[in-house]
Amino acid sequence: MTFKIAFASMTSFALFCSSALADDASRAVPPMSLVPTLVEYREAYLSQVLSRLRVSAKDHKTLSAQDIDRVLAGSQASSHASVMSSFFATDLNGDNVVDHEEIADEPLKPVRGGWLVADRSGDGKTSLSEALTYAADIAASSSRVRSLPELQELLALDPNADGKLTIEELRQIANNVFDRYDLDRDDIL
């Protein structure tokens, strides 16, 4: 049997968070990140949900706000490195300045506009200092880590409100969610 699941409202999400471990949790609508999709068996669902915590938590056992901040910082560092890598690849003569000739040779059209925007002095060249500033701006604005809202949703499920979600707490919550959809209780959706 296959289910098509509708999006949960924020009110339902708040209700679910407050009753995630309670016996009446089966009546609350879980957050979308916990709704079983593309899985058929309880084991696959639990693996899918628990791996989100394991991958993001520094100790692979407990998710905290610090872990979420670390994931965001890692994403921003990666974005910064990507921009700087492009700068150095465009700086063909290795003088730590990207000029019009080098920009003209750059095959990536979006970067051309980027390097022109990065030229804050207006001299037609992008210096290493300007590139670093530009990369920092791009990294700060690219805080769209795909998993960030999902991790925040998971942490909001913290049943004892201690600011941490343990693997055991998440396992219990995930089992309750699976039970909500496993109407015939055969561990298969």
- Assess contact for 98 and 126: CB atoms under 8 A: yes
- pLDDT tens digits, one per residue of 99-120: 888 877 555 544 546 677 888 9
Higher model confidence: residue 33 or residue 28?
A: 33
d(CA 119, CA 84): 14
What domains can be seen in the chain, in order of their start residue?
68-141 (1.10.238)
pTM of the model: 0.69
> pLDDT tier at 156 (50, 70, 90 boundaries)?
very high
Per-residue pLDDT, 31: 80
Residues 99/130, Cβ–Cβ less than 8 Å: no
